Amino acid sequence: MAKFEETSMAAVFQNRVAQYGDRALVAYKNKAGVYEDISWNKINEKVQHLGYFLISRGVGSGDKVALFSPNRYEWWIADLAILSVGAVNVPIYATNSAEESRYIIENSDSKLCFVATKEHMDKIISVKPKLPNLGDLILFDDFDVKTPGIITLANAMKEGTAKPMKDEFEKRIKAINPSELATIIYTSGTTGPPKGVMLTHKNFISNCQQCYEVDPATMKRDDLHFLSFLPLAHSFERTVGYYLAIYTGKKVNFAEDFAKILENFQQVRPNCIVSVPRLYEKIHAGILAKVATAPPVKKALFGWAMGLAARNLPYICNDKPRTGLFALQYNIANKLIFSKLKVALGMNKLEFAFSGGGPLAVSDAEFFLGMGIKVIEGFGLTETTPVVNANKPFKIKPGTVGPVVKDTLERIDPVTGEVLIKGPQVMVGYYKNEAATKDAFTDDGYFRTGDIGEFDSEGYLKITGRIKDLIITSGGKNISPQNIENDLKASKFIEQVAIIGDNRKYLTALIVPAFLELEQWAKDQGISVSGHKDLIGNEKVQKLFNSEVAECMKNWARVEQIKKFKLLDKEWSQETDELTPTLKVKRRVINQKYSTVIDDMYKDDKD
């Protein structure tokens, strides 16, 4: 019989430690550049010692503790220690600025703050005079720090080891009420100051159970192992890539950072990942770019294989075995093309790729599905812990986010088309923001997702846009930009795009070219340029993009056509503030930053 009733992730973790013991729980890249395993027992030892430290420092039930770090196993240790003593984890995106971090720490009333590196430490030190209620900083990286009020994680655990209080530690886990707060996750604030989403222990436990029930047979497999690279501060990675892995006893390997993701894929070769659409977009575009420069015979062979991949979709999406001549042809294509491509990417063992956090283009999903990788798209928000819908591995419908998960009610507002949710994974509200909490729910208790959607005949949900992103033209036409943007990104020459047109007579687009692909094309055309600005100003390049946009828009209605576009010479990123930490486009920032460029596209507005 399990020692702890599983009403919190802290309790679940302790029970799984007893079950799995010396089996590897996580792996990280050590200083020698080799992935090193850490067992369930070893992680638990660190969690307990850190928990003793927190108790000795007066951290009590309901106290808030901030966590400012990228993905690494210490994030897990800090989180589990915080939860185990009954406190509340307040994660901060590793890329946040000092001022953004200050706002979160102040608004959440955090008493302590874990920081990963000297850079994170310096950011908090710079704003600490404005945070009179913030106590010590606990630093993950182990180097000599003589600044008062800063203690390394190693020393914190030594302090905990010297003051063992196992009975108190276990007593606190058993005392956790599932309705109590486990975390406050601050939204990225694309439309204003971040709001603190309050999620309870019940929210997380319920969502883990719901994810498990999507396909219990897969979740019971002992051989599944993840590669973690999405921010743990985001609820998608935290629930599906972390808590669900613990809940089901799976091993997780930590990527170094997103910039080294393909290198880490090749070293770890995971069979399961959790990602936002951007990764699939980048890999798909990169492959097409390389194929474009291949010799004619290889290019033709790839085209033949892709034709077979398209024919494979009904088989992989419905979990049916291939038969007859097609099975033979596909096996040849797999041997010659798919298997080699996947080995080169480190994806030769990848079976399941969960996608969420934004709409995944059908072309990107089908590219991986055709090669035998089950891309499983779902839907949810931070406010729903996050999973609300998920495709089933044995019945995948590209372009949909699947049916609603267990114990969840979902309906479409008949007037606005908004998706409304009720279930045990829905947040209790926004921290210290009653007005926003009230606005987030209908009178009968359904959470307003802000997403527009529709159901097919089998109950699979298709998200068609976001209410706040809806473009309302001056003629009164409502247009959702995301699906148009995804169609444009199907062009191998288009890396990023934002549709413009709110309160305008027609739609325009800001386009960031796929410069590697474009530069190769220009070279093949004998075009000599000195840089990106020179390249996008070239007349032949402009004609190329006129043709690409026209081709991508051929199935859209007249009112949804892109009348003008502007090519930009720099890719959007978090660092330049056009993207959120989960790589979504900040439309408000784009509109402000490129206002002159946008106005120029409408200067002859006479239509």
- The answer, yes or no, to whether residue 132 has pLDDT greater than 60, is yes
What was the pLDDT predicted at 191? Answer: 54
Say which DSSP state 335 is in.
Answer: I
Domain boundary pick from 429, 449, 467: 467
CB within 8 Å of 527: residues ≥ 6 apart: 535, 538, 540, 541
What was the pLDDT predicted at 145? Answer: 83
Indicate if 513 and 449 belong to the same structural domain: no
The pLDDT of 379-404, averaged and rounded, is 97
Distance, first Cα to last Cα, the chain: 73
For position 344, which CATH number holds?
Answer: 3.40.50.12780
Q: What are phi and psi of 69, to 5 degrees?
A: -165, 150
Indicate if 449 and 482 belong to the same structural domain: no
In angstroms, the CA 318 to CA 413 distance is 30
Domain boundary pick from 407, 438, 467: 467
- DSSP H helices, 411-492, are 434-439, 481-488
Say which DSSP state 69 is in.
Answer: -
What was the pLDDT predicted at 182? Answer: 98
Give the tens place of pLDDT for each residue, 411-447. 999 999 999 999 999 999 999 999 999 999 999 999 9
The pLDDT of 493-501, averaged and rounded, is 94
The pLDDT of 33-44, averaged and rounded, is 97
Tokens in use for 199? 């999620």
Q: For residue 2, tell me if it sits in a domain.
A: no
In angstroms, the CA 402 to CA 463 distance is 10
Indicate if 501 and 524 belong to the same structural domain: yes
Indicate if 443 and 483 belong to the same structural domain: no
What was the pLDDT predicted at 465? Answer: 87
Amino acid, res. 505:
K
Q: Are 207 and 239 in contact (CB under 8 A)?
A: yes
Say which DSSP state 275 is in.
Answer: E
CB within 8 Å of 401: residues ≥ 6 apart: 377, 378, 379, 389, 390, 391, 460, 461, 462, 463
What was the pLDDT predicted at 469? Answer: 86
Give the tens place of pLDDT for each residue, 185-196. 998 655 567 899
Indicate if 80 and 158 belong to the same structural domain: yes
In angstroms, the CA 509 to CA 517 distance is 20
In angstroms, the CA 371 to CA 306 distance is 8
Give the tens place of pLDDT for each residue, 140-197. 999 888 888 999 999 999 999 999 999 999 999 999 999 999 999 998 655 567 899 9
What was the pLDDT predicted at 563? Answer: 93
Q: Are 81 and 47 in contact (CB under 8 A)?
A: yes
Indicate if 292 and 204 belong to the same structural domain: no
How does DSSP assign 392-426, residue by residue? BTTB--TTS--SBPTT-EEEE-TTT-EEEEESTTS
The pLDDT of 34-52, averaged and rounded, is 98
Q: Are 199 and 220 in contact (CB under 8 A)?
A: no
Give the tens place of pLDDT for each residue, 268-324. 999 999 999 989 988 998 898 888 888 999 999 999 999 999 999 999 999 999 999
Give the tens place of pLDDT for each residue, 565-598. 999 999 999 889 898 887 888 888 999 999 999 9
Q: For residue 134, tell me if it sits in a domain.
A: yes
The pLDDT of 83-105, averaged and rounded, is 96
Q: Are 4 and 173 in contact (CB under 8 A)?
A: yes
What was the pLDDT predicted at 109? Answer: 98
Indicate if 41 and 142 belong to the same structural domain: yes
Q: Are 371 and 170 in contact (CB under 8 A)?
A: no
* Among 56, 47, 137, 138, CA closest to 84: 47
Domain coverage including residue 525 = 470-601
Count how many domains the chain has: 3
For residue 327, how many other CB atoms are within 10 A of its CB?
13
Query: Regarding predicted confidence, which is higher, 397 or 474?
Result: 397
pTM above 0.75, yes or no: yes
Domain boundary pick from 467, 497, 532: 467
- The answer, yes or no, to whether residue 398 has pLDDT greater than 50, is yes
- The answer, yes or no, to whether residue 475 has pLDDT greater than 80, is no
Indicate if 224 and 321 belong to the same structural domain: no
Indicate if 461 and 497 belong to the same structural domain: no
For position 539, which CATH number holds?
Answer: 3.30.300.30
- Considering only CA atoms, give the Rg of the chain: 25
Indicate if 450 and 488 belong to the same structural domain: no
- The answer, yes or no, to whether residue 1 has pLDDT greater than 70, is no
Tokens in use for 65? 């503790």
Task: Give percent helix, percent strand, percent coil of the chain, each to the nearest 5.
Answer: 45, 20, 35
| C-alpha distances out from residue 601 to 504, 514, 594, Å | 11, 22, 11
What was the pLDDT predicted at 607? Answer: 45
The pLDDT of 328-333, averaged and rounded, is 98
Indicate if 215 and 229 belong to the same structural domain: yes
What was the pLDDT predicted at 192? Answer: 63
